[in-house]
Structure 1
Amino acid sequence: MSVRSTLLYTALFAASAVAAPAAWAQAQEPAPPMNQAPAPSSAASANISDQKIEQFADAYVAVQTIQEKAANDLQTAKEPAQADQVKAKAESDMIAAVEKSGLKVDEFNQIVETMTANADVRERVAAKLQERQGGG
């Protein structure tokens, strides 16, 4: 698996917290240690445009669907070569889905990293995902 897709898979697992209600996400945000200021990059990267949030939500939904299909296909794979084919196809499909949304894989991963450090970004993404699931 390439570094790009490894990050994408990692991003998906990290982003899965987004599906939780915003209140849960807020409650899960750890306080910075007393002797350490919050990372300056998280404040700067919190200025993610609404368009990027929209693109991220589109990409996230598509990537999640691809990942679910791949997980099902891996359960039925009978040989390691077949499993490798499933993983390779899922990887290329996820990268294509992210790029189709208008984001680069690096941008997608950066938004995920920002979400882990910034409750406001998590809430904005969660709201967009709820809209796409018919809940908002």
Structure 2
Amino acid sequence: MSLRLLYSALFAASVAVAPAAWAQVQEPAPPAQEYPAPAQEAPPVSDMPSDSASSANISDQQIEQFADAYIAVQGIQEKAANDLQTATEPAQADQVKAKAESDMIAAVEKSGLKVDEFNHIVETMTANADVRERVAAKLQERQGGG
């Protein structure tokens, strides 16, 4: 499993979930800026069911686990971003990045999901409004909205 895929998946999750999860709590995001316009169709992922089947295959428990992992990973990303700003040498920055990657993987696995399951949920929710709404609702609940 590529660590870059985890980063990519987390970025996609942030883009897909953030406007839906926090739009009601904060100022509404300007229309047309909530989601970037797709430049191209995403390539099909082998062995993955269709959108509606993907939604049905993602259990409430997996959504709960995903929400826990997502919140933990965001905290790790924020800390790493702050640490990178104070890094004075490339080796120090590399060390911060390596620790963040390791911590993110550990956070996902601690939630009860495997990294590939986490990434699958991210991929599904970027293409499936039902899954995106389920995740956004769970995140809002976790962060004091419910």
| Greater fraction of residues in helix | 1
CA RMSD between the two structures: 2.2
The one-letter code of the counterpart of 1:6 is: R
Contact 1:42 1:114 in 2 (8 A): yes
The one-letter code of the counterpart of 1:134 is: G
Contact 1:29 1:117 in 2 (8 A): no
Where do 1:73-84 residues align within 5 Å?
A: 73-84=83-94
* Separation of aligned partners in 2, 1:105 and 1:21: 23
**Residues 1:43 and 2:42 aligned together:** no
* Per-residue deviation, residues 62-96 of structure 1 (Å, max 9, x unmatched): 00000010011001000000000000000000000
CA, structure 1 residues 87+50, in 2 after alignment: closer, same or farther (shift >3 Å)? Answer: same
* Separation of aligned partners in 1, 2:20 and 2:51: 21
Corresponding residue number in structure 1 for 2:144: 134
* Separation of aligned partners in 1, 2:87 and 2:35: 37
The share of aligned pairs that are identical, in percent, is 82
Using structure 2 for the length normalisation, give the TM-score.
0.78
Return 5+ residue gaps in structure 1 as ranges: 31-38
* Separation of aligned partners in 2, 1:111 and 1:121: 8
Q: 1:8 aligns with which of 6, 26, 31?
A: 6
* Separation of aligned partners in 1, 2:10 and 2:49: 24
The one-letter code of the counterpart of 1:51 is: Q
Corresponding residue number in structure 1 for 2:43: none
* Per-residue deviation, residues 89-131 of structure 1 (Å, max 9, x unmatched): 0000000000000000000000000001100000000000001
Return 5+ residue gaps in structure 2 as ranges: 24-28, 38-47
CA, structure 1 residues 52+73, in 2 after alignment: closer, same or farther (shift >3 Å)? Answer: same
**Residues 1:72 and 2:102 aligned together:** no
Number of matched pairs: 124
Q: Which runs of 4+ in 1 moved over 3 A?
A: 27-30
SS class of match (1:20): helix
Corresponding residue number in structure 2 for 1:104: 114
